[in-house]
Amino acid sequence: MASAWPHLRLILDIVSMKLFLWILARLTAFGPRRILGRDGELLDSNLFFFDRYSELADYHRVKGRTAKADKLAAIAEKYYQAAPDDPEPLDAAAMAMPVPRPPVNTIAVSTTRRIPRSNGKRPSSLVPATPAP
């Protein structure tokens, strides 16, 4: 029974993702299609199915069922071919950026003598001592 769990998990993953995509397609049939790809697939759903069918093919190959494994590998290859390619990076994007300025090193240490604080007993010579009228 323990050897059936990986097979059951893979089958459950595939069925649940197909159900999710079917529900998503029905919900967005009358609304915006921004979350779906060109042919109605979710962005990476083809790569997800490729991965799951590949694992399922490996599982059946280990169990000695090569005919079923070859059939599942062909399904996985179909999903891999249907996956959209990654877009090429834009070369012009770096040209729009300004050239960075060279770094400025600042030494924030004073070289002058320290000015002593007044202790408050002596009047300051900056403000006249006469009272205001």
Residue 25 covered by a domain: no
Residue 124 covered by a domain: no
> Whole-number mean pLDDT of the chain?
75
pLDDT band at 116 (very low <50, low <70, confident <90, very high): low
pLDDT tens digits along 34-45 = 555 555 555 677
Question: What number of H helices and E strands is found in the chain?
Answer: 3, 0
| pLDDT score recorded for residue 70 | 92
Residue 47 covered by a domain: yes
Residue 26 covered by a domain: no
pLDDT above 90 coverage of the chain, percent: 7
Residue 24 covered by a domain: no
- Domains identified in the chain, total number: 1
Mean pLDDT of 73-93: 78
Q: What angle do CA 104, 106, 107 make, to 5 degrees?
A: 155
Residue 64 covered by a domain: yes
Show the domain range for 76.
38-85
Residue 61 covered by a domain: yes
Sequence-distant (≥ 6) Cβ neighbours of residue 28 within 8 angstroms? 35, 36
Q: Is the pLDDT of residue 58 over 80?
A: yes
Q: Is the pLDDT of residue 74 over 90?
A: yes
